[in-house]
Amino acid sequence: MIYLKKGIFLLISIIIGVLVYQKEEEIIIPTDAIRMRIIANSNNIKDLYEKKKLKEEIEDDLYDMVKDFNSTSDAREKIKNNLDIINEMISNKTKNFTLHYGMNYFPKKTYRGVVYKEGEYESLVITLGEGLGDNWWCVLYPPLCMINDNKITDDVEYHSLVYDLLKN
């Protein structure tokens, strides 16, 4: 009898787990997208922290710069016309960096379940120091990952199906 109860409980747990599990949504990056990449000086903790901190400090400003555009060409012009402002924004946070906008090399990347081959992509690349460390990257325009990273989704309320079922 106890084995039957354990078996039923296990079966119910598996069914609930399958119902709750959601596959990460695939998002296809458009071919004319503008990417962004911040490359750390090295992989030591201090340099990786500097990369993360810079990303956090500039991403909202960059998002605001391109969020209202309806075309890549308009976003491209806005970025090109504001490279001095972007450079100043970064230089207020760190001193040893290079900024390059144009066609830049990206290694193979996976984004939301889709693998993108390595190659040259239109992008804004910030290289800290020697640029020998790991990088953070996203799609600057359309601002796919910046929308996900920004506080736009703060009003989302999460529920646990298991908790709700047990509570009721």
- Would you write out the chain's pLDDT as a tens digit for each of its 168 residues? 666 777 676 667 677 766 655 555 666 788 899 999 999 999 999 999 999 999 999 999 999 999 999 999 999 999 999 999 999 999 999 999 999 999 999 998 887 778 889 999 999 999 999 999 999 998 999 987 765 444 443 433 444 444 455 555
- State CA 123 to chain mean position distance: 14
Q: How much is the pLDDT for 44?
A: 96
- The residue type found at 155 is D
Q: What's the one-letter identity of residue 163? A: Y
CA-CA distances (angstroms) from residue 55 to 62, 71, 73, 128, 156?
10, 24, 24, 11, 23
Whole-number percent of the chain with pLDDT over 70:
73
Task: Give the model's pLDDT for residue 136.
Answer: 92
For residue 113, what pLDDT is reported? 79
Structural domain boundaries of the chain?
Answer: 34-152
